[in-house]
């Protein structure tokens, strides 16, 4: 099977502010797919977040006749990303909080799985999750 990439498209109000925030969290951007309306944030080798200025994002969804979700009132998605350890979960969320994120949920510890989440400057929900590999059945 061929390797697939995933591009998550997210509307943002202020692209520069959002890029600055995610840079502080530790992410880099691919300039080949970035301009004044969009920034391609590299999450991993095959996962990218396309941060799109709201007007530009709206042009992608105009045929659906739907509006952009008001993240102050509604949740459309929780972006959950895996981490290598509990410590990495804490490190990433703490960096996000220091960069201006709002807390979303307190850390959740299920023993075999640990997670913690925050809201980015545009109200999108991000969650980092560590799952003990010894508990995953093959």
Instruction: Quick: pLDDT tens for 67-116.
Output: 899 999 999 899 999 999 999 999 999 999 999 999 999 999 999 999 99
E strand intervals along the chain: 6-12, 28-30, 38-44, 47-53, 78-82, 102-109, 113-119, 125-131
Contact (CB, 8 A) for 106 and 100? no
CATH architecture of 69-138: Roll (3.10)
Give the CATH H-level superfamily of domain 1-63.
2,3-Dihydroxybiphenyl 1,2-Dioxygenase, domain 1 (3.10.180.10)
Helices (H) and strands (E) in the chain, counts: 3, 8
Q: What is the mean pLDDT of residues 41-60?
A: 94
**Secondary structure of residue 33 in the 3-state scheme:** helix
What percent of the chain clears pLDDT 90, i.e. is strictly above it? 82
Residue 128: how many CB atoms within 10 A of its CB? 23
Nearest-angstrom CA–CA distance, 98 and 124: 17
Q: How far, CA to CA in Å, does 47 sit from each of 13, 40, 42, 56?
A: 22, 10, 7, 21
**How many residues can be counted in the chain?**
138
- Euclidean distance between the first and the last CA atom of the chain, given in angstroms as a whole number: 19
Q: pLDDT tens digit string along 18-43?
A: 999 999 999 999 999 999 999 999 99
CATH topology identical between 1-63 and 69-138: yes
Tell me, what's the pLDDT at 14? Answer: 97
All structural domains of the chain with their residue ranges: 1-63, 69-138
């Amino acid at each position: 099977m061929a390797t697939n990439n995933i591009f998550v498209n997210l509307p943002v109000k202020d692209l520069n502010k959002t890029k600055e925030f995610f840079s502080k969290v530790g992410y880099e951007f691919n300039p080949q797919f970035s301009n004044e309306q969009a920034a391609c944030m590299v999450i991993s080798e095959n996962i990218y977040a396309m941060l799109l200025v709201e007007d530009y994002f709206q042009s992608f969804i105009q045929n659906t006749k739907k509006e952009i979700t008001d993240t102050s009132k509604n949740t459309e998605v929780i972006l959950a990303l895996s981490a290598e350890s509990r410590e990495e979960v804490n490190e990433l969320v703490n960096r996000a909080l220091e960069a201006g994120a709002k807390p979303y949920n307190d850390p959740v510890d299920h023993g075999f799985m640990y997670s913690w989440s925050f809201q980015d400057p545009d109200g999108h929900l991000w969650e980092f999750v560590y799952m003990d590999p010894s508990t995953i059945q093959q």
